């Protein structure tokens, strides 16, 4: 058998690759891809450079690989920590509304704050062949992100800061938001303030507690033992934490609650005790909720821009798909204090 290659059957292993085209044209592989697909605009000069490199290398795209990539690009994974929380429901809507016009299908998973479920979802999304993943992390353990990191898929971290992986991110300035709410209660004359926090390992809980403490410190108010109660971002957690606050010998006259679901639990306990809001206790929740205005005493809240957070995350994952080598981008959005009756002060 002859060891010389047949000129009529070219050696496919020596076929020029898209990486060689990108190197010769002096551009990224993403730019070459955009020129080939025509989906995104590329400057005339760059397009000419790419086409010249393609001509000189006699590059021909692999049709099978292109079809697989096209199929892959139709799905984006979104993993949240609690799909029942109205905040995340709004985030999902923001992500979906931005992706849908581009033909992407959103695959949504709910970890229920369980790191094991998070790992399972990430592995399943990688196996499913998604084009990118948007994640609300539940664990700081680097091993939880092994599947996503090994796949080198575009990854956007949403809502919670995490050091385990390098990725684009979108979140709220939680320290500033909590400071704004606490300062408002102090301006209303409250000197005994309580705080119901979230999960101890989650950055949102850490930052909101830090903002609460910072506002007290700048006003010269101490944080007494028991004035900060941990919660779990669930209804029962808010209920139990509020009970511990109210059972103190000198209970707080105002309480900041670190998320909307726990605020509902705190309100349930307050109503059971027969306390008047805001005459006997003032309350501020974190995150707005659709029924906050229609409650017996409309709830003052720190409103995160949840829909916009979702849209920004979707923009980042699309940008990373189109340009894998772009610098990481970290978007920090400001929240808004919406004053209603539950804190004892109406607008104006």
User: Both 192 and 213 in a single domain?
Assistant: yes
User: Both 313 and 191 in a single domain?
Assistant: no
Residue range 214-263, pLDDT digits in tens: 999 999 998 877 899 999 999 999 999 999 999 999 999 999 999 999 99
Strand order in the sheet with 254-257: 228-229, 193-196, 254-257, 282-286, 300-303, 336-338
Quick one: which of 280, 209, 277 has its CA closest to 241?
209
Is the Cβ–Cβ distance between 252 and 284 less than 8 Å? no
Q: How many domains does the chain have?
A: 3
Q: What is the pLDDT of residue 264?
A: 93
The verdict on residue 1 lying in a domain is no
The verdict on residue 235 lying in a domain is yes
| Residue 188: how many other CB atoms lie within 10 Å | 15
Quick one: which of 20, 17, 51, 57 has its CA closest to 34?
51
User: Both 204 and 264 in a single domain?
Assistant: yes
List Cβ neighbours of 31 (8 Å cut-off, separation of 6 or more).
22, 25, 42, 46, 50, 323
Is the Cβ–Cβ distance between 276 and 335 less than 8 Å? no
User: Both 222 and 271 in a single domain?
Assistant: yes
Q: What is the pLDDT of residue 69?
A: 53
User: Both 162 and 311 in a single domain?
Assistant: yes
The verdict on residue 66 lying in a domain is no
User: Both 269 and 190 in a single domain?
Assistant: yes
Of the given ranges (47-51, 92-96, 112-116, 326-330), which has the lowest mean pLDDT?
47-51
The verdict on residue 6 lying in a domain is no
Quote the Cα angle for 223-171-306, to 5°: 100
Q: What is the pLDDT of residue 38?
A: 65
Residue range 144-182, pLDDT digits in tens: 888 888 888 999 999 999 887 889 999 999 999 999 999
Q: What CATH number is associated with residue 54?
A: 1.10.260.40
Q: Could you check whether the bond before residue 336 is cis, i.e. omega within 30 degrees of 0?
A: no
The verdict on residue 57 lying in a domain is yes
Quick one: which of 327, 11, 44 has its CA closest to 169?
327
Boundaries of domain holding 135: 73-172+306-333
Residue listed under structure tokens 């004035």:
227
User: Both 140 and 89 in a single domain?
Assistant: yes
**Residue 347 pLDDT grade (very low, low, confident, very high; cuts 50, 70, 90):** very low
207: exposed, middle or buried (Cβ count in 10 Å: 0-12, 13-18, 19+): buried
User: Both 100 and 18 in a single domain?
Assistant: no
Q: What is the pLDDT of residue 156?
A: 97
| Residue 247: how many other CB atoms lie within 10 Å | 10
Sign of CA dihedral 22, 23, 25, 27: positive
User: Both 299 and 224 in a single domain?
Assistant: yes
User: Both 207 and 288 in a single domain?
Assistant: yes
Rounded to 10 deg, the angle between the 203-218 and 174-187 helix axes is: 40
The verdict on residue 26 lying in a domain is yes
Is the Cβ–Cβ distance between 206 and 348 less than 8 Å? no
Q: Which two tokens stand for residue 92?
A: 């999902």
6: exposed, middle or buried (Cβ count in 10 Å: 0-12, 13-18, 19+): exposed
Quick one: which of 320, 310, 333 has its CA closest to 96?
310
User: Both 27 and 82 in a single domain?
Assistant: no
User: Both 193 and 297 in a single domain?
Assistant: yes
Q: What CATH number is associated with residue 226?
A: 3.40.50.2300
């Amino acid at each position: 058998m002859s060891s010389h290659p047949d000129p009529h059957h070219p050696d496919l292993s020596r076929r020029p690759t898209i990486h060689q085209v990108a190197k010769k044209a002096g551009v990224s592989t993403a730019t070459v891809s955009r020129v080939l697909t025509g989906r995104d605009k590329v400057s005339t000069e760059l397009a000419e450079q790419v086409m010249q490199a393609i001509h000189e290398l006699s590059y021909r795209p692999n049709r099978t690989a292109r079809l697989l990539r096209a199929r892959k690009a139709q799905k984006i994974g979104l993993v949240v920590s609690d799909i029942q929380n109205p905040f995340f429901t709004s985030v999902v809507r923001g992500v979906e509304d931005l992706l849908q016009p581009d033909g992407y299908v959103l695959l949504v998973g709910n970890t229920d704050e369980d790191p094991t479920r998070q790992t399972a979802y990430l592995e399943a999304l990688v196996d499913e062949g998604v084009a990118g993943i948007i994640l609300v992390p539940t664990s700081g353990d680097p091993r939880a992100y092994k599947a996503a990191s090994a796949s080198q898929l575009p990854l956007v971290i949403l809502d919670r800061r995490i050091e385990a992986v390098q990725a684009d991110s979108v979140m709220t300035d939680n320290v500033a938001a909590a400071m704004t709410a606490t300062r408002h209660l102090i301006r209303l004359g409250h000197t005994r303030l309580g705080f119901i926090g979230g999960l101890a390992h989650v950055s949102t809980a850490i930052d909101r507690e830090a903002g609460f403490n910072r506002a007290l410190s700048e006003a010269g108010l101490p944080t007494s033992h028991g004035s900060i109660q941990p919660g779990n971002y669930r209804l029962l957690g808010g209920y139990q934490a509020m009970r511990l606050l109210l059972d103190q010998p000198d209970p707080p006259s105002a309480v900041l609650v670190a998320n909307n679901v726990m605020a509902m639990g705190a309100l349930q306990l307050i109503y059971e005790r027969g306390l008047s809001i805001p005459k006997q206790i003032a309350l501020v929740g974190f995150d707005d909720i659709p029924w906050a205005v229609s409650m017996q005493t409309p709830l003052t809240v720190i409103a995160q821009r949840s829909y916009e957070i979702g849209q920004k995350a979707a923009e980042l994952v699309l940008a990373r798909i189109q340009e894998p080598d772009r610098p990481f981008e970290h978007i920090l959005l400001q929240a808004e204090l919406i004053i209603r009756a539950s804190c004892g002060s109406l607008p104006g």
